Chain A
Amino acid sequence: DQQVKQNSPSLSVQEGRISILNCDYTNSMFDYFLWYKKYPAEGPTFLISISSIKDKNEDGRFTVFLNKSAKHLSLHIVPSQPGDSAVYFCAALTNSNSGYALNFGKGTSLLVTP
Chain B
Amino acid sequence: GAVVSQHPSWVICKSGTSVKIECRSLDFQATTMFWYRQFPKQSLMLMATSNEGSKATYEQGVEKDKFLINHASLTLSTLTVTSAHPEDSSFYICSATSPGLLYNEQFFGPGTRLTVL
Does A41 contact B93, Cβ atoms closer than 8 Å?
no
Chain B interface, >50% SS class: strand
Q: Are A101 and B44 in contact (CB under 8 A)?
A: no
B91 contact set on A, CB distance < 8 A? 41
B residues near A4, Cβ cutoff 8 Å? 43
Q: Mark A93-114, 1 if CB is under 8 A from B, else 0.
A: 1001111111111110000000
- Complex Cα distance A101/B59, Å? 11
Q: Does A59 contact B (CB under 8 A)?
A: no
Residues in chain A near residue B103, CB distance under 8 A: 93, 100
Most buried by B among A4, A34, A96: A96
Closest residue of B by beta carbon distance from A5: B43
Which secondary structure dominates where chain A touches chain B?
A: strand
**A contacts with B, residue count (CB < 8 A):** 27
Chain A 39-82 residues near chain B, CB threshold 8 A: 41-46, 49
The 8 closest A-B pairs by CB, nearest first: A43-B108, A97-B57, A106-B43, A104-B43, A104-B44, A98-B57, A96-B49, A101-B46
